[in-house]
Amino acid sequence: MITLTCLLGFLFALPNFFSDEETQNFPSWLPSSKINLGLDLQGGTYMLLEVGVDQVIAERMEAVQDDVRQTLRKERIGYTGLRVVGDVVSFRLRDEATREKAIELVEALAQPITNNLLSVTAVDLDVDEDENGLIIVTLSDQGRIERRRNAVQQSIEIVRRRVDELGTREPTIQGEGVDRILIQVPGLQDPNELRDMLNTTAKLTFHLVDEATSQTDIARGRVSPGSKVMNYADGVSQPISVRRRVMVSGENLIDAQASFNQQTGQPIVSLRFDMVGARKFGDATRANVGRRFAVVLDDEVISAPNINEPIPSGRAQISGGFTVKTANDLAVLLRAGALPAPLAILDERSVGPDLGADSVAAGKMASIIGLAAVVVFIVLSYGLFGVFANAALFVNITILFGALSAIDATLTLPGIAGIVLTIGMAVDANVLVFERIREELKLGRQPFQAVDLGYKQALSTILDANITTLISAIILFQFGSGPIKGFAITLTIGIITSVFTAVTLSRFFITLWLRKKQPTSLNL
């Protein structure tokens, strides 16, 4: 088992000594994963983004305005002056007798918010009225916080999916402050590709076309309440008026694939919705047969076909003069998901590999100096047993690199510091064991008995020391971010490999030597 473990460590560490072209020629059974270098070691792209949460709030209030209009009309409650100003929806009632019922209906439009920490359920809307009888609907403080938090978390997840589509390895994507996202993409020297990918919102929605508004009305700026004018993405077709209400959203999209129309042979994008989206799509098409359905991407109409029959399957197609490339690009963006809000680039830097090369060189020098100092000290202090400890140390470093390669870890400058620290800690357990063996020899024990008792009595101390360090490393990983996590991962793996090599491997070497030489005394 000891030999097998060491062999596996060597095999997983082996690819790091070959180029990427050479590792591609490895046999299929041989590991080919290598340790990735972080942004500070190989260069790359750094971006700091700000999530436009104000647009998320504005969209929610526009939806509230439309819901208020639909609800009051359905209940035949007269109103006037319904409008959105900033993040406030306000209106007046024509009949004061309907005030209590109207407020009750509007309050029912609020969406619940559950605070898992406090086990409290709140709503995202506050409904009030001023001294002049104006009914005011605002987003509650809890609703504002929750929408901001959801927008940032959803943006982080979607950004991660899109960056993964670029084929980069081990990007760092994390929240920064209240509404910012930090992105570090090692190895990506040209930030234009990343910027283009992130600047596309890819927000897909389906709206009913406002048939009551003609092209003449659009030209004169007269649009029906609850509708808005949108341009076609082709830039040629005349603008069209669509209902603001979103019938089906891209949030319910689970797959998007570029394909070809079987009749025309033109590139299209085939969509597939989840169960909720399929139900919404089926209900919307069933209730509006004969009407036009506008497919909107990033506030531009892709197409507006007629609904000829209900579509309960949850499958749809988008056609809009795509090329094969644009259809593939759109499918990639839709699969990754729509950003809930636009992203503004606050800071952008392209980090060159020169500083990283200096850091790697400095890290190598520090590791070599530290390793040499430890090797010399152990040999001078413990003689032949020190040689065994040094052999276990080299195996320990090999297994450490093999483990980092196996988990596809990213090595940063703090990670190199963790490796240097591991070199110093690796012989700590051997020192404890050898000192215990010395004490047993002073008590007159025979070599075999002294070695056996030395390892047994030092084991609890070794475990206590390394477990406490392991706890600290786990806490660093849990609450740290970026390079701190890299340091914690390196330290954690180093602790495990050090205990293995010190307690098992070095003892194995010493036991083999004792059985072969059968010494009657030890000079330790």
212 SS3 class: coil
Across the range 157-166, mean pLDDT stands at 72
Q: Return the bridge partners of 209, or none.
A: 242
Q: What percent of the chain has pLDDT over 90?
A: 11
Across the range 3-32, mean pLDDT stands at 85
Residues 27 and 126 in one domain: no
Of 314, 316, 321, whose CA–CA distance to 300 is shortest?
321
Query: Within 10 Å of residue 237's Cβ, how many Cβ atoms?
Result: 12
Q: Which pLDDT value is given to residue 428?
A: 84
CB neighbours of 239 closer than 8 A, spacing ≥ 6? 218, 229, 230, 231, 232
The encoded tokens of residue 488 equal 């914690």
Specify the higher pLDDT residue, 473 or 154: 473
Alpha-helical segments (H) within 202-298: 215-220, 275-287
Residues 16 and 59 in one domain: no
CB 441 within 8 A of CB 522: yes
* Mean per-residue pLDDT of the chain: 83
Total number of domains in the chain: 3
Of 307, 506, 494, whose CA–CA distance to 417 is shortest?
494
Q: Which pLDDT value is given to residue 236?
A: 78
Q: Which pLDDT value is given to residue 490?
A: 87
The CA distance from 437 to 425, in Å, is 19
- Is residue 176 a part of any domain in this protein? no
Task: Tell me the per-residue pLDDT of 206-248, one tens digit each, with 9 for 90 and over.
Answer: 899 998 888 888 888 888 888 899 998 777 788 999 998 888 8
The CA distance from 72 to 70, in Å, is 6
CB neighbours of 194 closer than 8 A, spacing ≥ 6? 45, 47, 163, 166, 183, 185, 188
Of 269, 303, 337, the last residue of a domain is: 337
Query: Using N-to-C axis directions, what is the helix angle for 413-426 and 483-500, rounded to 10°?
Result: 20
139-143, 261-265, 327-331: range with highest mean pLDDT: 139-143
Task: Tell me the per-residue pLDDT of 407-432, one tens digit each, with 9 for 90 and over.
Answer: 877 777 788 888 878 877 778 888 88
Residue with tokens 């997983």, as numbered in its chain: 12
Q: Which pLDDT value is given to residue 121?
A: 61
Residue with tokens 């649009």, as numbered in its chain: 223
The CA distance from 267 to 223, in Å, is 34
Q: Which pLDDT value is given to residue 118?
A: 43
Residue with tokens 């407020």, as numbered in its chain: 103
Side-chain-facing half-sphere of 213: CA atoms under 13 Å: 22
CB 245 within 8 A of CB 207: yes
Residues 66 and 36 in one domain: no
CATH code for position 225? 3.30.1360.200
Residues 367 and 404 in one domain: yes
Q: Which pLDDT value is given to residue 119?
A: 45
CB 224 within 8 A of CB 212: yes
Residues 319 and 358 in one domain: no
3-12, 110-119, 299-308: range with highest mean pLDDT: 3-12
Provide the sign of the torsion angle of the four alpha carbons 429, 435, 441, 443, taken in this order: negative
Residues 364 and 504 in one domain: yes
Of 292, 187, 193, 207, whose CA–CA distance to 247 is shortest?
207
CATH code for position 431? 1.20.1640.10
- pLDDT grade, residue 145 (50/70/90)? confident
Residue 76 domain boundaries: 55-136
Query: Within 10 Å of residue 325's Cβ, how many Cβ atoms?
Result: 10
Residues 38 and 118 in one domain: no
Q: How far is CA 258 from the centre of its chain?
A: 25
The CA distance from 442 to 501, in Å, is 26
46 SS3 class: strand
- Is residue 390 a part of any domain in this protein? yes
Alpha-helical segments (H) within 211-260: 215-220
- pLDDT grade, residue 387 (50/70/90)? very high
Task: Tell me the per-residue pLDDT of 269-323, one tens digit each, with 9 for 90 and over.
Answer: 887 887 878 888 888 888 888 888 888 877 888 888 888 788 888 787 777 667 8
- Is residue 249 a part of any domain in this protein? yes
Residues 80 and 114 in one domain: yes
Residues 313 and 441 in one domain: no
Of 136, 151, 184, the last residue of a domain is: 136
Task: Tell me the per-residue pLDDT of 66-103, one tens digit each, with 9 for 90 and over.
Answer: 888 888 888 889 999 898 887 889 999 988 888 889 88
Residues 239 and 285 in one domain: yes
Across the range 157-171, mean pLDDT stands at 68
Q: Which pLDDT value is given to residue 300?
A: 85
Provide the phi-psi class of 353: left if phi over 0, else alpha when psi is between -120 and 50, else beta.
alpha
pLDDT higher than 90, residue 471: yes
Residues 360 and 507 in one domain: yes
Across the range 12-22, mean pLDDT stands at 84
Q: Where does residue 405 rank: exposed (0-12), middle (13-18), buried (19+ CB within 10 A)?
A: buried
Q: Return the bridge partners of 282, or none.
A: none
pLDDT higher than 50, residue 176: yes
- Is residue 237 a part of any domain in this protein? yes
- Is residue 7 a part of any domain in this protein? yes
- Is residue 395 a part of any domain in this protein? yes
- Is residue 157 a part of any domain in this protein? no
Residues 322 and 429 in one domain: no
Of 87, 111, 136, the last residue of a domain is: 136
Alpha-helical segments (H) within 239-343: 275-287, 324-336
- Is residue 323 a part of any domain in this protein? yes
